[in-house]
Amino acid sequence: MKILSRYPWIISLFLILSLATWLATGLLQAAPEKNQPKPATTPVPKVRVQKISPQKVHQSIILYGRTEPSRSTVLRAELSGRITEIYATRGQRIKKNAPVMRLDLNDRDKQLIYVEARLAQHKLEFEGSKSLSLKGYQGKAQLAQSQADLKETEARIAQLKKEIKNTLLRAPFDGVIYDRTVELGDYITVGEQLADFIDLNPLIVRGNVSQQNIQSIYLKQKALVTFAGNIKKTGKVHYISSMSNTQTNTFRIEVSLDNPDLKILAGLTTEIEIPLKQIDAIKISPALFSLDENGVIGIKWVKHNTVQFSTIDVIKTEADGVWIKALDPDIKIITVGQAFVRKGDKVDAVLEHDNIADQSS
């Protein structure tokens, strides 16, 4: 201890040598790590894919429409008088020329009997005047007067017959009494509205077509109309407007539907599908749609174990899926795991055996 206290540099030298020895030992132990194996690479993600074969489907134009009567008219009074009989109630289906209601004759039948008697008299007077005129016993003025009396009486008879006929209002065509604004005993005047009459067979479905699609539609083209409850009826295009609506820039079209039992009513909202050309398409669930980095809707699929992204072209929609234009003959759509991979990623694709298109057929 006396030596250490006399020579303190000995302690410093000892500490320096000890530190150098410890550092050298650490370097020797760390050196072999350079030869250790590298850690394993990140595993390739697995995704489940489904192979869907394209099918031939009709590319369609889908419109939203509304049913309307093919014809409608308002029954109006041609005479003044009191309603004495009503034959048809509101909502009743009646045939063409069937009686709807009757007005009071107001002695027109008795006036007709009287005027017809006067007609017989005027015929005799005219024949007599004509005979006398030929013999020179009567002038032309008397002959002309008797002839005028005869024509006036004939005109009055024709007028009375027409008025008597018009006291009975008949259905102008096969249809339905949509509404009636008068009741038994009401007094009506000339031109007064009595009832609304509509024709529901055929039934008209009206829709509006965009400028882009109007050139694809033609008369007598087949159209499929779907009502609430998935009730479907087939009709034909029977009218195409020649001018667009100035506010919407759409063209009005009308589809005619047979409705013999009148079960389909006017005023119903519908979906109109007009098939166009056939195209290769696949049917998928909307749940398989994805978004790319720019927010574009499409689907992710796999080719050569690499994720692909393609935008979609919707052909038509159905209750259980969406038909989109086919992208690849052997497309394998990612059904599970598409949210965790991006375009260009390498994946381990596990093929499903079920085919969505087969399930839907």
- Domain residue spans in the chain? 47-57+279-360, 62-69+199-277, 77-194
pLDDT of amino acid 138 = 62
Class of domain 62-69+199-277 (CATH, top level):
mainly beta
pLDDT digits (tens, 9 = 90+) for 152-198: 899 999 999 999 999 999 999 999 999 999 999 999 999 999 999 99
Quick one: tokens of 177?
């009494």
How does the average pLDDT of the chain come out, rounded?
84
pLDDT at 354 exceeding the cut of 50: no
Classify the C-alpha dihedral 259-255-56-278 as positive or negative: positive
Class of domain 77-194 (CATH, top level):
mainly beta
CATH number of the domain at 47-57+279-360, out of 2.40.420.20, 3.90.950.20, 3.40.50.2000, 3.20.20.10? 2.40.420.20
Q: What is the 3-state secondary structure (H, E, C) of the chain?
A: CHHHHHCCHHHHHHHHHHHHHHHHHHHHHHHHHHHCCCCCCCCCCEEEEEECCCEEEEEEEEEEEEEEEEEEEEEECCCCEEEEEECCCCCCEECCCCEEEEECCCCHHHHHHHHHHHHHHHHHHHHHHHHHHHHCCCCHHHHHHHHHHHHHHHHHHHHHHHHHHHCEEECCCCEEEEEECCCCCCEECCCCEEEEEEEEEEEEEEEEECCCCHHHCCCCCEEEEEECCCEEEEEEEEEECCCCCCCCCCEEEEEEECCCCCCCCCCCEEEEEEEEEEEEEEEECHHHCEECCCCCEEEEEEECCEEEEEECCEEEEECCEEEEECCCCCCEEEEECHHHCCCCCECEEEEECCCHHHHHC
- Residues 342-349 have a mean pLDDT of 88
Quick one: tokens of 336?
């599970």
pLDDT of amino acid 134 = 66
pLDDT of amino acid 355 = 47
pLDDT of amino acid 19 = 61
pLDDT at 356 exceeding the cut of 60: no
Distance CA 144, CA 150 (A): 10
Provide the Cα torsion 240, 243, 246, 250; round to 10°.
30
pLDDT at 357 exceeding the cut of 50: no
Side chain identity at residue 15, one-letter code: L
pLDDT digits (tens, 9 = 90+) for 108-135: 999 999 998 988 888 887 777 776 666 6
| Opening angle at CA 256, ends 253 and 262, nearest 5 | 135
Please answer whether residues 239 and 253 qualify as being in contact, where contact means their C-beta atoms are separated by less than 8 angstroms.
yes
Whether omega before 202 lies within 30 degrees of 0, making that bond cis, reads yes
pLDDT band at 24 (very low <50, low <70, confident <90, very high): low
pLDDT of amino acid 330 = 73
Q: What is the pTM of this model?
A: 0.62
